[in-house]
A and B are shown apart, each in its own frame.
Chain A
């Protein structure tokens, strides 16, 4: 139930984010026993770089507490979709929060929205979509990879949010989104190698009052083909964006100050080479940072185009 309501205390069945430092976070399912590599049922002990944690000992602890590891300590947090994105098991490449937030914003999603997502992938975006559209909206998510569909379904159930999502195993490029979604959805999100192949199906699924479509593609050629298709099908306000988050590391530095002026004045005595150092608070930029993730294309389908189809 970790993603439905904000909780005070950890219970059996919760998924917990174990925070050691910004680059060392994990997600743990709080249960008594797990199956090890040999297929045997053993006590659930989680290994970190700072030692082991008996997972069952977390039950009853308040979220946000410090917990002891055998060689250090960590904090236990209730996962948000943002924390989940940082710790989830990767089955595919995933979309990160800077892009996720822009996708949700541009699609005008609010509680009650009905939205299609394809492909499901590692369900990084799915968790954020579900948070936004519940309690009375719904996410229909599709993937052509059967195992990913099964795993995503299990995750949603474990996270207590399966009532807000339908996961389907389907190749939407050839089969579409299904007749049951005709005139049903407010927004469509595409993260596919050939997004233009699904646009006819997307138009079928969008509500008669119109809706929005967003496509995420890493390559500009994909964007060009998608935009050409969108434009030919009557989509308007087609815009493409790229958003990069730049991390800043806050630093306090002492800068040495050279004392040079006295050299002109030969009479000065007892002068030092250096003045008091200057204290500076500033930021440093990482030497390597993501320079590209993907292009986000957003378009509106006006109602008249749906009537004409």
Chain B
């Protein structure tokens, strides 16, 4: 557990309302350190005791629901999981997605790309059986909570609006691994075009951003191998 040396913690939070603000700013808050541990704790404190209009999403507060992905002190992660530091604490919204207000971004493009890879099982036959081997290979992939951190960290999603992004490809690979699935060829056709998996430049930003250690770029490589 983190124990702070000082009685207070400083946190700097990105604030922006595109409808009323000309430009974005950082608001600085000094808050009591007692009982605080994570970035989420601090954000909650600010909203509860400093400014009730601070906009951010939260739900499960245990790294399971994917609501609270943010950019904190230079890296992406879940606000509810990342510990505050003794020194600088800077929170920014996810990149590549339009800011609605403060830390709340419009996730629509992220969901749209996810849905585009047909993220659902269509059985090849009613009694198709999942093998234990495939099940174990997929084990890590169902940890994905679709928080959007990898999508924001990716350099390609910003440049190319048609690129599906790391999360969508990781999910796609989950279905490619499933030996019950009937859409294999369709799925591959969807992503082998010029804006598909080959656009990935293997910068591994997604791997670093992923709070659940899914390693999306490895999944992208696996898909590339299948297509090649």
Do the two chains belong together in a single complex? Answer: no
